[in-house]
Structure 1
Amino acid sequence: MDLSYDFYINAPIEKVWETLVSDEGVQQTFYGCTIRSSFIPGETISYIGPGNDGEETVHVYGKILTCNPLEKLSFTEHPGPSYNQDHANLETRITYTLTTVGNCTKLTLINDLWSQEHPSYKSTKDHWPMILSNIKTFTETGKQLDFGF
């Protein structure tokens, strides 16, 4: 059930990292959300933006597990409260790893530790390729992909 993706981005690691952790990068690549986190292990991380609860909808939240700048970011992930009443018990783990390959950056995403019958699995599986494609496009060109929604 693990979700695993590798994307090769024609940009240095520093630029890819900035896309993943900056408000501007996240806003351009995660459906208009901003990211709120100190990136200190044990502290919180939230993706917040337009949605069910207005402009401040918590889409996902969790705790930072590992943050090695320019190398690895790992955190627990729960769906936001407006998406599932049992949100606190629905936890997965997201890990981004960056490595240099020639003049490119290899971005590996692993989204694992899914419980059986997790209600967000299918939609997450469908959305990760879109989000990662948007990260690649934005980092390389400064433009977003238009998915029509």
Structure 2
Amino acid sequence: MEPISYTIYITAPQQRVWDAFIDDEDVRAVWWSCVLEGTPTAGSDYAYVGPGQDGERTVHVTGEFIEVNEPQKLSMTERPGPSYNTEGEERSSRMNFSFEQVSDQLTRLTVVNDNWSDGHPGYEETKGTWPLLFSSLKSYLETGKPLPMG
């Protein structure tokens, strides 16, 4: 499977964009009411947990932090939560987020989602989900409101 990559420019300082990936309130606002459970340190586990098909504590994604270099780079593995991987097979990808300060109020966010395991159930959906999510992130950081994704 080919890597999925995007670059987006956000009118916000680098640290503010970084915080939107880690801070509970920001994550909840942008990542479909989920929270990031886990401490962002290399080698530690994490999970995105929130409302979904298994109730209020649906585990959407799990993984491990590979590299945490605040506020420049965040790299993590990704595995679909149990209800998204009913076959029980170990499937994963790697998500690399680079935060580059372009000016005082402009950050370039580069996302490369690669190392997809064969048959990963989220590959095709992710091609459509990432642009929506990063557009919502941009809107949230620039206006205080994420996209109305109902």
TM above 0.5, yes or no, is yes
Instruction: State the percentage of identical aligned residues.
Output: 41
Cα displacement string for residues 31-67 of structure 1 (whole angstroms, at most 9, x for unaligned residues)? 1101112111111111100001111000001000000
Letter in 2 for 1:37: G
Counterpart position of 1:39: 40
Counterpart position of 1:116: 118
Q: Which segments of 5 or more consecutive residues in structure 1 lack a partner in the other structure? A: none
Letter in 2 for 1:105: T
Counterpart position of 2:71: 70
TM-score computed with the length of structure 1 as normaliser: 0.94
CA distance in 2, matches of 1:7, 1:89: 31
CA displacement at 1:117 relative to structure 2: 3.2
TM-score computed with the length of structure 2 as normaliser: 0.94
* Aligned equivalent of 1:126, options 104, 107, 128: 128
Letter in 2 for 1:5: Y
| The 10-residue stretch of structure 1 (107-116 or 4-13) with the greater mean CA deviation from structure 2 | 107-116
Contact 1:79 1:87 (C-alpha < 8 Å) held by counterparts: no
- Aligned residue runs from structure 1 range 19-30, under 5 A: 19-30=20-31
Contact 1:44 1:62 (C-alpha < 8 Å) held by counterparts: yes
CA distance in 1, matches of 2:13, 2:45: 27
Moved over 6 A (4+): none
State the SS of the aligned residue for 1:89. Answer: coil
CA displacement at 1:87 relative to structure 2: 5.1
Letter in 2 for 1:66: E
CA displacement at 1:118 relative to structure 2: 2.1
CA displacement at 1:88 relative to structure 2: 5.5
Contact 1:96 1:108 (C-alpha < 8 Å) held by counterparts: yes
State the SS of the aligned residue for 2:43. Answer: coil
Counterpart position of 1:105: 107
State the SS of the aligned residue for 2:141. Answer: helix
CA displacement at 1:146 relative to structure 2: 1.1
Contact 1:78 1:88 (C-alpha < 8 Å) held by counterparts: no
